[in-house]
Amino acid sequence: MARQLYFEDVEPGFEIGPLEKDPTTQQLVKYAGASGDFYQIHYDKDFAIANKLPGVILHGALKNGFLGQLMTDFAGEHGWLRKLSVQYRGMDVPGVRIVCKGRVVKKRVENGQHLVDCEIWLENAKGEKTTPGTATVALPSRGASH
Amino acid sequence: MANRIVDEEARKQIGTVGEARTYDVERGAIRRFAEAIGDPNPLFNDEQQARKTRFGGMIAPPTFCRSLGSPIPNVKLNMPAAFRGLDGGSDWEYFQPIRPGDRITVQSKLADLREAEGRLGPMVFMVIETSYTNQFGELCATQRSTAIRY
Q: Total domain count for chain B? A: 1
Residue A1 pLDDT > 60: no
Residue B81 lies inside a defined structural domain of this protein: yes
Residue A146 pLDDT > 50: no
Distance between CA atoms of residues B70 and B109, nearest Å: 10
B 28-57 residues with CB below 8 A of A?
A: 29, 32-33, 35-39, 41-43, 49, 53-55
pLDDT bracket for residue A17 (50, 70, 90): very high
pLDDT on residue B149: 87
Distance between CA atoms of residues A115 and A45, nearest Å: 43
Q: Does residue B63 belong to the interface with chain A, where contact is any CB pair within 8 Å?
A: yes
ipTM over 0.85: yes
Residue B57 lies inside a defined structural domain of this protein: no
pLDDT on residue B72: 81
pLDDT on residue A66: 98
Residue B139 lies inside a defined structural domain of this protein: yes
Give Cα separations from B71 to A22, A136, B22, B109, B133 (angstroms): 32, 29, 12, 10, 16
Tell me the pLDDT of chain B (150 aa) as tens digits. Answer: 556 888 888 889 999 999 999 999 999 999 999 999 999 999 999 999 999 999 999 999 999 999 999 888 888 888 776 677 889 999 999 999 999 999 999 999 999 999 998 887 889 999 999 999 999 999 999 999 999 988
Residue A144 pLDDT > 70: no
Choose the weakest-confidence range: A83-92, A97-106, A125-134, B69-78: B69-78
Kindly provide the residue ranges of all beta strands, DSSP E only, lying in chain B, ordered along the sequence: 21-24, 85-94, 103-118, 121-133, 139-149
Residue B49 lies inside a defined structural domain of this protein: no
- Mapping DSSP onto H, E and C, the string for A77-124 reads CCCEEEEEEEECCCCCCCCCCEEEEEEEEEEEEECCEEEEEEEEEEEC
pLDDT on residue B71: 82
pLDDT on residue A47: 96
CATH superfamily entry for domain A7-138: Hotdog Thioesterase (3.10.129.10)
Residue B142 lies inside a defined structural domain of this protein: yes
Is the model more confident about A83 or about B6? A83
pLDDT on residue A134: 98
CATH of the domain at B79: 3.10.129.10
Residue contacts between A and B (CB atoms, under 8 Å)? 101
| Closest to B136 in 3D by CA, of B110, B106, B103, B91 | B103
Residue B51 lies inside a defined structural domain of this protein: no
Chain B residues with beta carbon closer than 8 angstroms to that of A21: 38
Residue B2 lies inside a defined structural domain of this protein: no
Q: What is the mean pLDDT of residues A55-70?
A: 97
Domain of residue B95 covers 8-26+67-149
Q: Do B88 and A88 touch (CB under 8 A)?
A: yes
Count how many residues are written for chain A: 146
pLDDT bracket for residue A145 (50, 70, 90): low
Choose the weakest-confidence range: A13-17, A72-76, B9-13, B34-38: B9-13
Nearest chain B residue to A22, by CA: B38
Q: Domain locations in chain A? A: 7-138
Choose the mutation target among A19, A74, A84, A92 for the interface with B, i.e. most B CBs under 10 Å.
A84
